[in-house]
């Protein structure tokens, strides 16, 4: 007679909480709905979302820090991550339609949005485009 081993149910929210705790331990600020102070200057903001509805947030939490590091050699502009409980506020205020979303902000105001999960190359291309766009604005050019 064969015995079946039952695996514990996968708790996506608990798993994401562990992923975010690990990122926070490595110096990435994790924002909740009570946090409203964004850093002065430029920062990247990753809006995660509910992992039961957007399971790709797990991939985004791994890919985005690596892409930012690959594109710039180091993460030259700070990365902040918005935990699921804080996403609704920023998604509404910043008119984000698709999660996860990577947003380049200046003084807390979104300058460039990358909505939805991308493959590595697409993220690199869009991060570079975002950087060029905000750099042009900083130098007085128009978009």
Dump pLDDT digits (tens) for 93-143: 999 999 999 999 999 899 999 999 988 889 889 998 998 888 776 555 444
Domains belonging to the chain, first-starting first, are: 42-138 (3.40.30.10)
CB-based contacts of 40: which residues, under 8 Å, 6+ apart? Answer: 107
Residue 120: C-alpha distances to residues 12, 18, 86, 97, 125 (Å): 23, 23, 26, 21, 9
pTM of the model: 0.85
Helices (H), 8-78: 12-25, 57-72
> Cβ distance 47 to 32 under 8 Å?
no
Per-residue model confidence as pLDDT tens digits over 28-58: 999 887 666 888 899 999 999 999 999 999 9
Beta-bridge partner residues of 102: 46, 114
Say if residues 20 and 30 touch (Cβ distance below 8 Å). yes
Measured distance CA(83)–CA(69) in Å, rounded: 21
């Amino acid at each position: 007679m064969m015995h079946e081993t039952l695996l514990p149910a996968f708790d996506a929210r608990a798993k994401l909480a562990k992923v975010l705790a690990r990122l926070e331990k490595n110096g990435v600020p994790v924002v909740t709905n009570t946090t409203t102070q964004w850093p002065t200057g430029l920062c990247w903001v990753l809006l995660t979302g509910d992992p039961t509805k957007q399971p790709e947030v797990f991939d985004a939490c791994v890919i985005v820090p690596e892409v930012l590091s690959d594109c710039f050699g180091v993460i030259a502009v700070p990365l902040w991550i918005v935990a699921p409980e804080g996403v609704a506020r920023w998604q509404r205020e910043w008119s984000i339609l698709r999660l996860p979303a990577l947003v380049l902000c200046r003084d807390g105001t979104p300058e460039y949005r990358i909505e939805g999960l991308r493959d590595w190359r697409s993220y690199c291309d869009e991060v570079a485009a975002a950087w060029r766009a905000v750099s042009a604005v900083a130098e007085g050019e128009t978009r």
